[in-house]
A and B are shown apart, each in its own frame.
Chain A
Amino acid sequence: MKPLPQPGAGAIFVAIIITCLVLFLFQRTVWLVMPALVSLMLFYCLRPVVKALVHRGVSHEWAVAWVWLLLQLVSVVVAFNIFRFVVAQATSWESNYDRYLAAGLNLMTKTTAPLEQMIPALKRAGLDSQLNQQIAEIGASLTGKNLLPVILLTLKWLPCVLLVPYITYFLLKDSVRLKKFIIKSVPNAFFEKSLLLFSRLDASLQNYFQGLLWLTLLDTACLACGLKVLGIPKALWLGLGSAVMAWIPYVGSIIACATVVLVAAVNFPESVQIAYACLILFVIVRILDDFIFLPLTIGRKLHVHPLLSLVMLFLGGTVAGGTGLVLALPVFAVVSVISDVAAQIATDRKLVARFWMTRRMANETCKKLSAHG
């Protein structure tokens, strides 16, 4: 396919406005949008496997069934290992928890003490004691009866998580059929343009998810290398986990950063510099992510200019918070393609005339048939 013509400023402006509206609506239905997004990602990752199986002589239905079964097996193995890890840790949970809490408080004291010496006003305000008290309270609330809301929140999101394999299965099984079904309902006059629209949408989404995977790999490489240099144990897994957590904008990165800093504080209780270095590493990777990796991977894959990618990220975050940040680029890419093709159809007088002529012909045929009984 030829490279897409660059849309004009007016078209971009319209696409930005529609994207903002869509993001606002998505924020209201985040419980459905998020599983759909994960399913789409799995779909684009697994589709080549299904195609490879079909090429080897397996029927499409069986290929989808095998791939889905494999996905389920992997999910069960991962869930089982997580469960086993949690059970294994359960006996020493409290002691580990205390160790991590103590390391956190130690880090906080070592951080605030020099600050209080430098700024007497902070000492007068009792910064150290207040922060320690706050952390101890948070720690106590996490172990005690206040865990209930967390469990309830997890239960609330559980049905959404369970939706993922089913949406993925039906996408793998019926995406071609669904596409054909939709195309079949399109009038002949607009048939080729509709196919063009589908093709471009498919390419945009595939590029987005490929870009996201590249971004995760880049993040993992940077974080793992940085953490390894700092001497943090299990650097690769911590890097990978943090990169995956970064899919949840802001919150995910903060949680991942706090976890790694705590791990550093536990492993190097005497050397707070290591924990600070971890924090700096996260900030650097975050900056690289937002200003270089994200526009280069996802932005480039979606054929969106890096500057426009940044504008969309800011707008998405403003309009729909975290959901907006995650979805701003893919939604913008999809909206751009739809508005571009829709404009092409609407402004093509020949196509529109052909559509009306065909309708007139069909009406006349119907009249003739009814006149002949």
Chain B
Amino acid sequence: MPSGDGMKLFGANNHGAKKIEMLKNIPIFQTLTRNELLEVDEMLHERTYETGEIVFEKGEMGHGIYIILEGRVKVNPCPELPASAVLEMGRNEMIGELALFDEVPRLATVVAAERTTMAALFQSEFTSLLTTNKNIGVKVLVEVTRILGHRARQLLIREKHVPSI
């Protein structure tokens, strides 16, 4: 297992403050309080992928999102993605966010470009969080929506596409 900061997030010898600091740097959790971050931490699953290892494949059902804690991943180009799509992602970025709201097929194949540590947030656990702790749910949803909106805006600008409304 690597010994980066990402690994310290879930390890047995971690300190609460370090965990909070790490989670606070992840955009979708940046508005959460300390207690809320501790609750979210219980739901995150850490995975480490070796260079070239597939994280998920195009077409398979997505059950959650991944947040990159260490390393980089690359998105394999495919006809469904726009030519201008960002094909490489790094620390604190999230991938597969559409699967957070619905079990939909993955749009592209994602492969680890180097040894990468990621935190996975599973869709059903996130849904249960939305119902049991609405404060966290609303805050995370607002951040996810902000990121999705930003990406949509970028896409529209790059593709020079003007929406009909």
Chain A residues near B (Cβ < 8 Å)? 1-2, 48, 51, 54-57, 59-60, 176, 180, 183-184, 188-189, 191-192, 195-196, 199, 203, 350-351, 354, 357-358, 361-362, 365
Going nearest first, the 3 A-B pairs with the smallest beta carbon separation are A199-B124, A192-B63, A1-B124
The docked-state distance in angstroms from the alpha carbon of A134 to that of B52 is 80
The residue on A at minimum CB distance from B63 is A192
The docked-state distance in angstroms from the alpha carbon of A72 to that of B122 is 34
Query: Which of B24-32, B42-50, B140-148, B154-162 contacts its partner?
Result: B42-50
20 pairs of residues in contact across A and B, judged by CB atoms under 8 Å: A1-B123, A1-B124, A1-B127, A48-B132, A51-B132, A51-B133, A59-B38, A60-B38, A180-B45, A183-B45, A191-B120, A192-B62, A192-B64, A192-B120, A195-B45, A195-B64, A199-B122, A203-B124, A354-B54, A361-B52
Contact between chains at B57 and A350 (CB < 8 Å): yes
Shortest distance from the beta carbon of B54 to any chain A beta carbon, whole Å = 5
Known: A1-B127, A60-B42. A192 touches B56 (CB 8 A): yes
B84 touches A (CB below 8 Å): no
The docked-state distance in angstroms from the alpha carbon of A57 to that of B133 is 13
The residue on A at minimum CB distance from B123 is A1
Query: Could you tell me the dominant secondary structure of chain A's interface residues?
Result: helix
| Complex contacts, B55 vs chain A, CB 8 Å | 188
4 extra interface residue pairs, beta carbon distance < 8 Å, beyond A48-B132, A362-B50: A54-B39, A191-B120, A199-B124, A365-B50
Contact between chains at B45 and A350 (CB < 8 Å): no
Q: For the side of the interface on B, what is the size category?
A: 20 to 34
Shortest distance from the beta carbon of A351 to any chain B beta carbon, whole Å = 8
Contact between chains at A54 and B35 (CB < 8 Å): yes
Residues of B22-81 at the interface with A, using a CB-CB cut-off of 8 Å, are 35, 38-39, 42, 45-47, 49-50, 52-57, 60, 62-64
| Complex contacts, B124 vs chain A, CB 8 Å | 1, 196, 199, 203
The docked-state distance in angstroms from the alpha carbon of A191 to that of B60 is 13
Contact between chains at A57 and B35 (CB < 8 Å): yes
B5 touches A (CB below 8 Å): no
Contact between chains at B133 and A195 (CB < 8 Å): no
The residue on A at minimum CB distance from B122 is A195
Shortest distance from the beta carbon of B99 to any chain A beta carbon, whole Å = 9
B125 touches A (CB below 8 Å): yes
| Complex contacts, A1 vs chain B, CB 8 Å | 103, 123-124, 127
